[in-house]
Amino acid sequence: MIRINENYTKLKASYLFSDIAKRVSAYTQANPSKPVIRLGIGDVTEPLPSVCIEAMQAGTAEMASRTTFKGYGPEQGYAFLREAIAQHDYAARGCRIDADEIFVSDGSKCDCGNIQEIFATDGLKLAIPDPVYPVYVDTNVMAGRTGANINGRYEGVTYLESTPANGYVPSIPDHATDLIYLCFPNNPTGAVATRSQLAAWVAYARENKALLLFDSAYEAYIRNPAIPHSIYEIEGAREVAIEFRSFSKTAGFTGTRCAYTVVPKSLMAFDRSGQAHSVHALWNRRHTTKFNGVSYPVQRAAAAIFTDAGKKQVSEMTSFYLANAALIRSAMGKLGFGCVGGDNAPYIWINTGRDSWEFFDLLLNQAQVVCTPGAGFGKCGEGHVRISAFNSRENVERALERIAQALR
Ligand code: MLT
């Protein structure tokens, strides 16, 4: 008899964004004359930077000739891309990350979800923010690291609460944990962590022989020069942190797929007898076994963002979305809601003080605007919604007018 992985039965019936997509699709089918504006899932709308298109086309042209054709590439990514990342994303910020510590992949969602496979499933103490990108929690539930879901909380997880009281930056737990997920700039709240807050996390991880999984997929949106872009800007992080980065929100690659994960060679994790093992070697083993690399033209396109023209185009694109974010935050503020985020992140976290799915339905039905209900990100997300800045200026302005009318 074929049996299932029963851990899956502990999950909510469907993934948050699939759930929202279903509701929106039902609405549009029932109301074909009322076009909706999507400010829900953080999916980019602006075309890829022209440097990326040119590099992708040149890479594709190479595939047309026997002399330049590429078959399987290195699973970890081509050297030209890994070296560009090491130089421009790390050395330029004073971080010591070597090119061979970078694993190029087809997305941070996959990497954040897959990384847990190389750690123990029994007895590992998890610390996960609330609210949070649902992938961190769900993949650990699937792997059997949690107990049942009781009143919206899985047993066996230390929830790092982000609330209005702590400015949506969670405090360090008062007990030891082993595998800690952090995301800054944060999805969904848009909050950022200061250098001293990150230094405290690194100190905590070092003290507890723990590991930080640092998701910085939105670092390109940081405009405050005092805010670190990488966990490796913090002394001592090379021994306790893995970092996830993505070209999706940085340069519009959500459909094109390219991201990377940094696993320093100095990072160790332990077996049951306390013997240290290289996390880099474990991840390399997993990555080369289960992944065959990102396509060559896409890696060429990604590398183009590190040219002078590429940096300028990326900065213009992220600034465009941040200008949308400023409009959203100001309009929602004028309607009387407390808002955070949007200044160093493409998300605005809005304290509605009402049931978040109810507010979602209200915006969908009365304004034909899609947001993301905070409760979908965790218990602490209740009473909030997330509005994404990823859309055209015209659509954002129209959405804000409709929301103002609907809430009047
Ligand atoms: C989000 O809306 O939270 C993101 O688009 C999800 C993702 O990047 O997978």
- Statement to judge: residues 130 and 237 lie in one domain: yes
Give the β-pairing of 276-278 and 338-341: unpaired
The last residue of one of the domains, among 289, 306, 323, is 306
In a domain, 12, yes or no: yes
Same domain, 83 and 163: yes
Rg (CA), the chain: 21
Residue 369 has what DSSP assignment? Answer: E
DSSP track, 253-309: -TTT--EEEE--TT-EEE-TT--EEEHHHHHHHHHHHH-----HHHHHHHHGGGSHH
Residue 303 scores a pLDDT above 90: yes
The residue to mutate among 38, 187, 246, 250, having the most atoms of ligand 1 within 8 angstroms of its beta carbon, is 187
Domain boundary residue, one of 306, 331, 346: 306
Residue 279 has pLDDT above 90, yes or no: yes
Query: Amino acid identity of 7?
Result: N
Alpha carbon nearest to ligand 1 atom 6, residue: 42
Calculate mean pLDDT across residues 266-293: 98
- At residue 10, the pLDDT reads 96
Residues 6+ apart with CB under 8 A from 174: none
| Residue listed under structure tokens 């009318």 | 405
> 239, 273, 306: which is the final residue of a domain?
306
- CB atoms closer than 10 angstroms to residue 330: 13
Structure confidence by residue, pLDDT tens digits, 43-87: 999 999 999 999 999 999 999 999 999 999 999 999 999 999 999
Whether residue 167 sits in one domain with residue 61:
yes
What's the confidence (pLDDT) of residue 14?
84
Asked if the model's pLDDT at residue 33 lies above 90, the reply is yes
Gap from CA of 310 to ligand 1 centroid (Å): 23
Which residues pair with residue 270 across a beta bridge?
A: 276
Say yes or no to pLDDT of 111 above 90. yes
186 and 267: one domain? Answer: yes
Q: What is the pLDDT of residue 242?
A: 99
In short, whether 42's Cβ falls inside 6 Å of ligand 1 is: yes
The residue nearest atom 4 of ligand 1, judged by CA position, is: 42
Residue 278 CA to ligand 1 center (angstroms) comes to 30
- 289 pLDDT tier (thresholds 50, 70, 90): very high
Q: How confident is the model at residue 235 (pLDDT cuts 50, 70, 90)?
A: very high
Q: Is residue 362 part of a domain?
A: yes
pLDDT for the residue 197: 97
Q: Using alpha carbons only, what angle is made at residue 193 by residues 192 and 195, rounded to the nearest 5 degrees?
A: 135
Confidence band, pLDDT 50/70/90 cuts, at residue 408: confident
Coil, strand or helix at 209: coil
Residue 249 pLDDT > 90? yes
Q: How far is the CA of 41 from the centre of ligand 1 (A)?
A: 6
Any idea which residue has 């909030």 for tokens?
384
CA of 343 to the centre of ligand 1 (A): 18
Task: Please check whether residue 177 lies inside any domain of the structure.
Answer: yes
Same domain? 225 vs 137 = yes
Atom of ligand 1 minimally distant from the CA of 43: 5
CATH number for the domain spanning 13: value is: 3.90.1150.10
Is ligand 1 within 6 A of the CB of residue 145?
no
| Same domain for 315 and 302 | no
Residues 242, 110 share a domain: yes
Q: What does the CA dihedral 205, 210, 215, 220 come to, rounded to 10 degrees?
A: 30
Q: How many C-beta atoms lie closer than 10 Å to residue 57's C-beta?
A: 13
Query: pLDDT band at 237, cuts 50/70/90?
Result: very high
Neighbour tally for 13: CB within 10 Å: 6
Q: What is the pLDDT of residue 15?
A: 87
For residue 25, what pLDDT is reported? Answer: 97
Q: Are residues 339 and 369 in the same domain?
A: yes
Query: What is the CA(42)–ligand 1 centre distance, in A?
Result: 5
**Intra-chain end-to-end CA distance of the chain, in Å:** 58
Nearest residue by C-alpha to atom 9 in ligand 1? 109
Whether residue 1 is contained in a domain is answered as no
Count structural domains, the chain. Answer: 2
Q: Are residues 193 and 313 in the same domain?
A: no
> In the prediction, which pLDDT does 136 show?
98
Domain membership of residue 236 as a residue range: 53-306
Which CATH number do you get for residue 69? 3.40.640.10
Is the residue at 231 inside a domain?
yes
Q: Is the Cα torsion angle 216, 303, 326, 92 positive or negative in sign?
A: positive
Q: What is the pLDDT of residues 137-170, one digit of tens each?
A: 999 999 999 999 999 999 999 999 999 999 999 9
Residue 209 lies in a domain: yes
Structure tokens at 96: 């010591």
CB of 109 closer than 6 angstroms to any ligand 1 atom: yes
Instruction: Determine the Cα–Cα distance for residues 293 and 105; give it in Å rounded to an integer.
Output: 6
108 CA from centroid of ligand 1 (Å): 10
Instruction: Inform me whether the pLDDT recorded for 13 exceeds 90.
Output: no
132 φ, ψ to 5°? -160, 155
Q: In the predicted model, what is the mean pLDDT of the chain?
A: 97
Q: Are residues 196 and 220 in the same domain?
A: yes
The two structure tokens encoding residue 325: 């974010």
| Same domain (yes/no): 160, 278 | yes
Whether 328 shows a pLDDT value over 90: the answer reads yes
Residue 187 Cβ contacting ligand 1 at under 6 Å: yes
pLDDT tens readout for residues 330-364: 999 999 999 999 999 999 999 999 999 999 999 99
Quote the CA–CA distance of 341 and 350 in Å, as a whole number. 9
Q: Which phi and psi (to 5°) does residue 398 adopt?
A: -65, -40
Integer angstrom CA distances of residue 179 from 4, 119, 248, 250, 383:
26, 9, 25, 27, 28
Answer yes or no: do 65 and 40 share one domain: no
Residues 178-224 have pLDDT tens digits of: 999 999 999 999 999 999 999 999 999 999 999 999 999 999 999 99
Q: Which atom of ligand 1 is nearest to the CA of 249?
A: 8
